[in-house]
Structure 1
Amino acid sequence: MYIKNGIAYAGEQKQPLKISGVRPLEDYKLWIRFSNGEVKIFDFSKELNSPAFSPLKDKAVFNSVYIDYGVTVWNNGDIDIAPEYLYENGESIGGASIA
């Protein structure tokens, strides 16, 4: 049980999922470490056809990825993607090392 804003809730309070490490890889892939300690590879190539992510087709822009408040972003924060989406659609690699 936990209390938030004066309201008691059953179960454990879940911490929001955040990105704690990110590195661009070949072929529009990202190596991502999450706040829960898991590491995954996310293939971004499928997302590049979306108008929101089309600027990332430029490898220099894609490779400029960084973390802002636990979220993966590009172009000074103009482009971002939710940590939960990356987590759900990423491929687990188990370790914390960069391939």
Structure 2
Amino acid sequence: MRGDKMYIKDGVCYAGELVPNIEVSSIKLLDSGMMLVDFSTGETRLFDVTSLLDKGSAFAPLADEKNQRTAKVTHGFVSWLDGDIDIAPETLYAESYKYSKEVYA
């Protein structure tokens, strides 16, 4: 994880730094555990789903690419396996990389 920051929102503790009013608008699954994420900020960022494997056993099922492909956007955040695994949009944003559609189109 980038840094040791944490915050509490709606009674849930999240790793990362709070980015006010950010939500995931849509995702596009790519190969090798990569995902393009469109945020409510208008930005598209690149996220490596396999980076979650170092964050504890809760993310272990995502080692299987079949499980990675179950990703969907629900209420502004990304979840896998029908909601068994999820990640806060603020954490997803903080741990993703800038992406330019023009450069990679």
Tell me the TM-score range normalised by the shorter chain: 0.7 to 0.9
2: distance between equivalents of 1:83 and 1:19? 6
> Structure 1 residue 45 and structure 2 residue 50: aligned?
yes
Query: One-letter code of the match for 1:18?
Result: E
Name the one with the larger helix percent: 2
Query: One-letter code of the match for 1:65?
Result: A
Q: Unpaired segments of 5 or more residues in structure 1?
A: 1-13
2: distance between equivalents of 1:83 and 1:46? 15
Q: CA deviation at 1:46?
A: 2.0
> Structure 1 residue 25 and structure 2 residue 25: aligned?
no
Summarize deviations over 1:4-56 as a string: whole Å, max 9, x none. xxxxxxxxxx8510000112211111110001110000112221242111111
2: distance between equivalents of 1:35 and 1:95? 16
1: distance between equivalents of 2:31 and 2:93? 19
Pairwise CA RMSD of aligned residues? 2.0
Q: CA deviation at 1:94?
A: 2.7
Larger radius of gyration: 1
Q: Among all aligned residue pairs of Structure 1 and Structure 2, give the percentage whose two residues are the same amino acid.
A: 32
| Contact 2:49/2:62 (8 A) holds in 1 | no
Q: What TM-score, normalized by structure 1, do the two folds share?
A: 0.76
Q: Which portions of structure 1, spanning 4 or more consecutive aligned residues, are displaced by more than 2 angstroms?
A: none
1:1-99 alignment runs, 5 A limit: 16-49=21-54, 50-95=56-101
Q: Unpaired segments of 5 or more residues in structure 2?
A: 1-18
| Contact 1:23/1:65 (8 A) holds in 2 | no
Q: CA deviation at 1:75?
A: 1.1
1: distance between equivalents of 2:61 and 2:49? 12
